[in-house]
Amino acid sequence: MGFPHYIVAGPSEMLAITGSGISEIRLKKKHFLWPLQKCTTLDISPVNYSFEVQAMSAEKLPFVLPAVYTIGPQLDENNESLIKFAQLVSNHDKNSNHVKELVKGIIEGETRVLAASMTMEQIFKGTKEFKKEVFEKVQLELNQFGLYIYNANVKQLVDVPGHEYFSYLGQKTQMEAANQAKIDVAEARMKGEIGSKQRDGETKQNAAKIDAETMIISTKRKGEGKKEEVRVKTEVKIFENQREAEVVEASAELARKKAGWSQTARLAEVEAEKAVAIREAELQMEVEKKKAFAQTAKLKADLLSKANVEYDIKVQEANAQLYRRQKEAEAALFESQMKAEAKKASADAELYTRQQAANSELYAKQKEAEGVAAIGKAEATYLGSILKELNHDYSALRDYLMINNNIYQDIAKINAQAVTGMQPKISIWSGANGGESNGEGSGLKDVAGVYRMLPPLLQTVQDQTGMQPPAWLGTLPDSK
């Protein structure tokens, strides 16, 4: 037994503790180790595994697939993968052949299985897809051991000695490239010769085109020079004519302005004279108006003083009468409003009463409908339970309902009422002995008579209701 001590794991290590107080395995970075506990240090850094997997394609062509895998414990939040890894390497070193052989076996197995389902051409051209599928299948197998592929590098495929498929394929590619290069050189030479001839022809064509364009441009330039000369002479002549017209127009404008100025001066003199005469007449009119206004004011003062007094008296009387009528109208209006409000309140009360009655009736109808629905639901549940007890025999259920609802009694009553007052002649047969009745065995004869009457009774029930008697009671003879 060891002494208690404190253990700390390195940056790339984990402590796997087992023993007393621990159910399975506990993973920690640091732990105080107690007696009856065991601590194993796990190196969780990834390790490189190099393999040369010998596989065979779908065409039975062998090849070597060199690969380097970087594999290490998978780190997750709940440490489930680390616990699996700890269980794997509990008695082995991570770099031991135990883990390496396990990883190698999984990689070789998955690689061979996948290679056997693909042709050599598919493997060679689809190296990335081949690597991806191998990676996914190997990772799926490593998950159960808590291992994770951090990186996977697949090198160039290598031939197995005695099978030079890839070398022949490379020679084929090399020869195809050489032949293609020869074809490209020939095409380039052909394009060069054709291009040279095309350039010579284009040069001659362009030279002739330029000469023709030069002649056209020269002719155009000469015509444009003549046109420009004529245009300049025309513009000079037009300018001279415009100048002469402007001089004539200026002389006419000056004469027109002089005439206007003379007319304006004369009008000003006449207007001044007339304005003086008009002002004298206006002043005289104002004087006459003032005199007439003074006389009119005096006359109004004498005549209107009495009229104003009478007018004020009549106005006051009219105002008093108007005020009285207004008050009477307001009183009548107020009374009408009160009556209208009373009628409205009465109508509102009656409407509210009708609404409450309608609501009450609606509520009663709703409750009645709910009751009917509840009764129907209860009856459905009840009938379902009875049908279940009768083993889903609908004929038995129908018989039960007809008996429970007194259908047979009602049928008997209706039949009795139908024959009430009739006097039918009834004959009774009691079998071979006829109507003989001695005291010996009379009780059994009565019972036998009851059983004889059952078939006609059951036949009548069937005719009226369509119901067959139960099997335990007997069967009716075929009517046919």
User: What is the overall mean pLDDT for the chain?
Assistant: 77
Average pLDDT over residues 306-333: 80
Task: Note the pLDDT tens digit of each residue in 232-243.
Answer: 888 888 888 888
Q: Which of 394, 399, 387 is nearest to 465 (CA)?
A: 399
Confidence of residue 383 (pLDDT cuts 50, 70, 90): confident
Task: Note the pLDDT tens digit of each residue in 363-377.
Answer: 888 888 888 888 888
Count of C-beta atoms within a 10 Å radius of residue 374: 10
Backbone phi and psi for residue 32, each to the nearest 5 degrees, phi listed first:
-95, 110
**DSSP letter at 144?**
G
Task: Note the pLDDT tens digit of each residue in 33-56.
Answer: 777 777 777 777 788 888 777 777
What distance in Å separates the CA atoms of residue 386 and residue 170, rounded to the nearest whole number? 87
Task: Note the pLDDT tens digit of each residue in 421-475.
Answer: 666 555 555 554 544 445 445 566 666 776 677 777 777 777 777 677 766 666 6
Through-space distance between the first and last CA atoms of the chain, rounded to whole angstroms: 104
Q: Is residue 75 part of a domain?
A: yes
- The CA distances from residue 376 to 379, 383, 387, in Å, are 5, 10, 16
Last residue of a domain, one of 158, 184, 201: 158
Residue with tokens 């490189």: 48
Last residue of a domain, one of 132, 158, 184: 158
In this prediction, residue 435 carries a pLDDT of 47
CATH of the domain at 111: 3.30.479.30
Structure tokens belonging to residue 79:
């440490």
State which H helix or E strand residue 377 sits in. helix 165-389
Confidence of residue 259 (pLDDT cuts 50, 70, 90): confident
Structure tokens belonging to residue 190:
């052909």
Lowest mean pLDDT segment, chosen from 91-95, 250-254, 289-293, 388-392: 91-95
Lowest mean pLDDT segment, chosen from 36-40, 92-96, 308-312: 92-96
Sheet architecture: strand order including 13-19: 26-28, 13-19, 37-43
Q: Is residue 373 part of a domain?
A: no
What distance in Å separates the CA atoms of residue 331 and residue 8, rounded to the nearest whole number? 108
pTM above threshold 0.85: no
Count of C-beta atoms within a 10 Å radius of residue 359: 10
What distance in Å separates the CA atoms of residue 344 and residue 183, rounded to the nearest whole number? 111
Q: Is residue 248 part of a domain?
A: no
Confidence of residue 17 (pLDDT cuts 50, 70, 90): confident
- Residue with the bigger pLDDT between 458 and 378: it is 378
Total number of domains in the chain? 2
In this prediction, residue 480 carries a pLDDT of 47
Confidence of residue 159 (pLDDT cuts 50, 70, 90): low
Structure tokens belonging to residue 125:
């051209």
Count of C-beta atoms within a 10 Å radius of residue 13: 13
Count of C-beta atoms within a 10 Å radius of residue 55: 20
Average pLDDT over residues 181-187: 79
Q: Which of 90, 107, 93, 91 is nearest to 49 (CA)?
A: 107
Q: Is residue 201 part of a domain?
A: no
Q: Is 480 helix (H, G, I), strand (E, B) or coil?
A: coil
Last residue of a domain, one of 113, 134, 158: 158
Average pLDDT over residues 138-164: 76
- Per DSSP, the residues of 398-414 read HHHHHHHTTHHHHHHHH
- The CA distances from residue 248 to 241, 242, 244, in Å, are 11, 10, 6
Q: Is residue 130 part of a domain?
A: yes
Helices and strands, number each (H, E), in the chain? 8, 9
Backbone phi and psi for residue 41, each to the nearest 5 degrees, phi listed first:
-90, 125
In this prediction, residue 479 carries a pLDDT of 54
Task: Note the pLDDT tens digit of each residue in 395-417.
Answer: 887 878 888 888 878 887 887 78
Structure tokens belonging to residue 312:
């004020």
Mention every residue, 6+ apart, whose C-beta is less than 8 A from residue 79: 27
Task: Note the pLDDT tens digit of each residue in 97-129.
Answer: 777 788 888 888 887 787 787 777 777 666 777
- Distance from the Cα of residue 164 to its chain's centroid: 60
CB–CB of 68/36 below 8 Å?
no
Average pLDDT over residues 206-217: 85
Q: Which domain range does residue 123 map to? A: 44-158
Q: Is residue 27 part of a domain?
A: no
In this prediction, residue 172 carries a pLDDT of 66
What distance in Å separates the CA atoms of residue 180 and residue 61, rounded to the nearest whole number? 29
What distance in Å separates the CA atoms of residue 136 and residue 148, rounded to the nearest whole number? 11
In this prediction, residue 437 carries a pLDDT of 47
**DSSP letter at 8?**
E
State which H helix or E strand residue 17 sits in. strand 13-19
Q: Is residue 268 part of a domain?
A: no
Asked if the model's pLDDT at residue 201 lies above 80, the reply is yes
Task: Tell me the residue type at 26.
Answer: R
Task: Note the pLDDT tens digit of each residue in 64-74.
Answer: 777 788 888 87
- The CA distances from residue 276 to 202, 261, 269, in Å, are 102, 23, 11
Task: Note the pLDDT tens digit of each residue in 285-294.
Answer: 888 888 878 7
Q: Is residue 431 part of a domain?
A: no
Structure tokens belonging to residue 33:
């180790």
